Structure 1
Amino acid sequence: MKSLISALAIAAALGTAAFAETIATGDLGLIIERANGSVLLVDQSERASLARIEGLGDLSHASMVYSSDERYAYVFGRDGGLTKVDIVERKIANRVVQAGNSIGGAISDDGKLVAVSNYEPGGVRIFDADTLELVADIPTDSKTIGLVDAPGRRFVFTMWDTGETWIADLSGSEMDITKILDMGENPYDALITGNGRTYITGLFGEDGLTALDLWDDDPKPIRVLPNYGRGQEEMPVYKMPHLEGWALTGSEFVLPAVGHHEVLWIDANTLEETARTKTYSQPVFAMARPDGRQVWVNFAHPMNDTIQVIDTVSKEIIHEFKPGPAVLHMEFTPRGHEIWLSVRDENKVKVYDTHTFELLREIEADSPSGIFFTARAHRTGL
């Protein structure tokens, strides 16, 4: 009996030790520190930084996606680096330099494949999410933009130079590619809705946008707002809006207008314009709080010290404030009670209450830009 008790005690002790080492990742996230090639591991509930992970290369225009278990982040660097970060062990798990200049990526719905879109040499490369071994190389003879994941182990991406959108289906034993022509002149970014149905790309070379219905067996380009901005004085574009930050609030999209001081409201079903809201300057991100009641907007240089908050019922600006110089990115907590803002030129991330607009915490960070919470692991297109 004494031996049995001892054995149980040892097992209990080992179990306790193992449990103590288990780390829940649901509250965690990574912040890009663009100047130093590092990422900052943060805890959103504690509003605190936990660790800095270094050695990720050029992060001047970086983004990331998460594995479905929220343990690994796949960081896409401007130097073509694809870095797999283990946020439990707080270190780089693997890294490959797969191109000369990459511009983002996506992870398949089953979490098995990671795709990277490239400016140089162009095209899309797809890797095994576990080993980072190359699975497929898709040359396009063009800079690729707007790469997103779609249901059914598919990736959708668009070409800046040729104005085409391709759908790469990797659900079978052989990859199948569908090519859609005439998407418009110089597409610069794209988004996909959370249900995986609507893919929208913004156009730099002409006014308007182009959409695809991915539920259609033979998707065709759908022109959206083909004349928005016509007749108005053209303005210089200081920074291209990011379509990942476009908002879907109930039955409407909220889109930053290229080169104009306004956001556009579009019916999500008919894709027709419903309203416009004048803004402080040229919007970059227009991001919806998760409940859809607010849209938070930041702006391009040199007016990038300001945030405006729009009420989605009245479509009016209800709050404006200046967090600091160079507000580059925003990220809501999963239920939207707080928002984190990267203020690059103050080397800080600032956390605000989205109902009272109270500043709750400031976190030191080196030239922070993108903020990515692990809740993104469970959302299509992010």
Structure 2
Amino acid sequence: MPLPFSLKPLLLGGALTLLAGCQAMNPAAELRGTGDLGVVVERATGSLALVDTSEREIIDRVEGLGDLSHASVKFSRDARYAFVFGRDGGLTKVDLLTGEIVERVIQSGNSIGGAISQDGNYVAVANYEPGGVKVFASDDLELIADIPATYENASGETERSKTVGLVDAPGNTFVVSLFEAGEIWTLDMATDDPKVQRYQEVGEMPYDALISPSGRYYIAGLFGEDGLALLDMWHPEAGVKRILPDYGRGEKRLPVYKMPHLEGWALAGDQAFFPAVGRHEVLVADTGDWSLIERIPVQGQPVFVMSRPDERQVWVSFAHPKNDVVQVIDTQSHEVVKTLAAGDSILHMEFTPRGEHVWISARDSDHVKVYDTETFEELATLPAESPSGIFFTDRAHRIGL
């Protein structure tokens, strides 16, 4: 039976009073969304700066996260929790609304990143030492599976390989590359007992990898040779094939001061933009057949090559010693249209979900700068302690990020 109109304000007022009482007891329970939140890794202090991307400000800090010298972050399905993968093997679950550590485990001696499964139930970590992948329950970080990355070396001895390029894929699958082994593995997490599929002899020293936004193509960069290794997740029975082979044939490779990162690759229509290892170039490939279209000259060795969400621009950061600027490439003309001096030792970039702004971390300048991506106007400078990775919560709903 419908309530009399005169009673509705009384009931509503009571509910609001109860809510206000709960918030008074716990100020952190103030209602807000997480869609415009993010974190900046402060590697010098082992902390996270929690940021509001709409207000362009730091709203909180979380300390006690260990060695964050090469840290990465993933987000829970509901975008409330951040999972921080530290270089010291630490895996930490952080509540973005309360600014508190929920759970923390030291799960290895040296780890390099991780991923969240499609259903949000599993957190996987790629480890250098000991080499392998560990899988944890996302709610309480209970260990679910320990998968050593074993392989047979040239002498017939069994060794363990560093694991890199760990990403999530559709079907509750993880994909990972083995550096020394030259292999790619898929881990089917349909159950708590993962099924492992190995692809061997994919290329020399896969050092990092990415997966396309659709989850179809897993591509590993090869440090030991020119080219990349591609696994079509729609047709895994076809195995791994090489793409962009010998893109530097006949040229002398420059010393590599920092390995490129493929996670932030740039996809624009039917083109893919990649950093070239040991060269001052951004490579452009046709995603139809993965042939090389063009090599775009840039001012240094590219580290991150990232597409603005509308795919109209590609932003490029660089390795030492020319790492005090970023360059912007027009994806139609393939020309560098802007160079921005954002600070000393630029390490990472992150676009707001719809791409109107970009945040750039400058480690040695101890700040993060925010720019308008259309006008290139500087909008804010935020102080941070040796900032490196920047991660926004919209990644929670994107494959591979």
TM tier relative to shorter chain: over 0.9
Residue 328 (structure 2) pairs with residue 309 (structure 1): yes
Q: SS where residue 218 of structure 1 aligns?
A: helix
- 1:357 positional shift: 0.3
The match for 2:94 is 85
In the alignment, the residues of structure 2 paired with residue 261 and residue 120 of structure 1 have an alpha-carbon distance, to the nearest angstrom, of 32
The match for 1:340 is 359
In the alignment, the residues of structure 2 paired with residue 271 and residue 56 of structure 1 have an alpha-carbon distance, to the nearest angstrom, of 40
CA offset digits 1:258-284 (Å, max 9, x no partner): 000000000112110111110000000
Moved more, 211-220 or 343-352: 211-220
Report the CA distance shift for 1:55/1:223 in structure 2 as closer, same or farther (over 3 A). same
Report the CA distance shift for 1:234/1:69 in structure 2 as closer, same or farther (over 3 A). same
Match among 311, 321, 331 for residue 350 of structure 2: 331
Report the CA distance shift for 1:14/1:166 in structure 2 as closer, same or farther (over 3 A). same
Report the CA distance shift for 1:8/1:315 in structure 2 as closer, same or farther (over 3 A). closer
Correspondence 1:3-42 to 2 at 5 A = 9-15=13-19, 21-42=30-51
The match for 2:169 is 150
Report the CA distance shift for 1:8/1:68 in structure 2 as closer, same or farther (over 3 A). closer
Moved more, 6-15 or 187-196: 6-15
Correspondence 1:282-301 to 2 at 5 A = 282-301=301-320
The match for 1:375 is 394
Residue 178 (structure 2) pairs with residue 159 (structure 1): yes
In the alignment, the residues of structure 1 paired with residue 33 and residue 175 of structure 2 have an alpha-carbon distance, to the nearest angstrom, of 32
In the alignment, the residues of structure 2 paired with residue 4 and residue 181 of structure 1 have an alpha-carbon distance, to the nearest angstrom, of 67
Which AA in structure 2 matches 1:51? Answer: D
Residue 81 (structure 2) pairs with residue 72 (structure 1): yes
In the alignment, the residues of structure 2 paired with residue 237 and residue 229 of structure 1 have an alpha-carbon distance, to the nearest angstrom, of 14
Report the CA distance shift for 1:309/1:46 in structure 2 as closer, same or farther (over 3 A). same
The match for 2:283 is 264
Please tell me whether the aligned partners of residues 83 and 94 of structure 2 are also in contact (alpha carbons under 8 angstroms).
Answer: yes
Correspondence 1:357-372 to 2 at 5 A = 357-372=376-391
Which AA in structure 2 matches 1:335? Answer: R
Q: SS where residue 237 of structure 2 aligns?
A: coil
The match for 1:112 is 121
Please tell me whether the aligned partners of residues 144 and 192 of structure 2 are also in contact (alpha carbons under 8 angstroms).
Answer: no
In the alignment, the residues of structure 2 paired with residue 220 and residue 3 of structure 1 have an alpha-carbon distance, to the nearest angstrom, of 67
RMSD of the TM alignment (CA)? 1.7
- 1:9 positional shift: 3.6
Report the CA distance shift for 1:85/1:219 in structure 2 as closer, same or farther (over 3 A). farther
In the alignment, the residues of structure 2 paired with residue 16 and residue 322 of structure 1 have an alpha-carbon distance, to the nearest angstrom, of 47
Gaps of 5+ in 1: none
- 1:251 positional shift: 0.9
The match for 1:183 is 202
In the alignment, the residues of structure 2 paired with residue 381 and residue 8 of structure 1 have an alpha-carbon distance, to the nearest angstrom, of 43
In the alignment, the residues of structure 1 paired with residue 369 and residue 16 of structure 2 have an alpha-carbon distance, to the nearest angstrom, of 42
Moved more, 170-179 or 275-284: 170-179
Moved more, 267-276 or 372-381: 267-276
Q: SS where residue 396 of structure 2 aligns?
A: helix
- 1:217 positional shift: 4.3
The match for 1:275 is 294
Q: SS where residue 102 of structure 1 aligns?
A: strand
Match among 205, 210, 219 for residue 224 of structure 2: 205
CA offset digits 1:284-334 (Å, max 9, x no partner): 001000000000001001110011100000000001121111111000000
Please tell me whether the aligned partners of residues 125 and 135 of structure 2 are also in contact (alpha carbons under 8 angstroms).
Answer: yes
Which AA in structure 1 matches 2:388? Answer: S
Please tell me whether the aligned partners of residues 145 and 193 of structure 2 are also in contact (alpha carbons under 8 angstroms).
Answer: no
- 1:173 positional shift: 6.0
Correspondence 1:344-355 to 2 at 5 A = 344-355=363-374
- 1:220 positional shift: 0.9
Gaps of 5+ in 2: 24-28, 150-159
Residue 140 (structure 2) pairs with residue 131 (structure 1): yes
Which AA in structure 2 matches 1:104? Answer: G
In the alignment, the residues of structure 2 paired with residue 353 and residue 17 of structure 1 have an alpha-carbon distance, to the nearest angstrom, of 41
The match for 1:237 is 256
In the alignment, the residues of structure 1 paired with residue 341 and residue 201 of structure 2 have an alpha-carbon distance, to the nearest angstrom, of 41
CA offset digits 1:327-357 (Å, max 9, x no partner): 1100000000000000111111000000000
CA offset digits 1:208-257 (Å, max 9, x no partner): 11101011141411111111111112210000000001111111110000
Moved more, 218-227 or 83-92: 218-227
In the alignment, the residues of structure 2 paired with residue 314 and residue 381 of structure 1 have an alpha-carbon distance, to the nearest angstrom, of 28
Residue 74 (structure 2) pairs with residue 55 (structure 1): no
Q: How many residues align?
A: 382
TM-score normalized by the length of structure 1: 0.97
Query: Percent identity at matched positions?
Result: 57
TM-score normalized by the length of structure 2: 0.92
- 1:5 positional shift: 7.9
In the alignment, the residues of structure 1 paired with residue 281 and residue 117 of structure 2 have an alpha-carbon distance, to the nearest angstrom, of 34
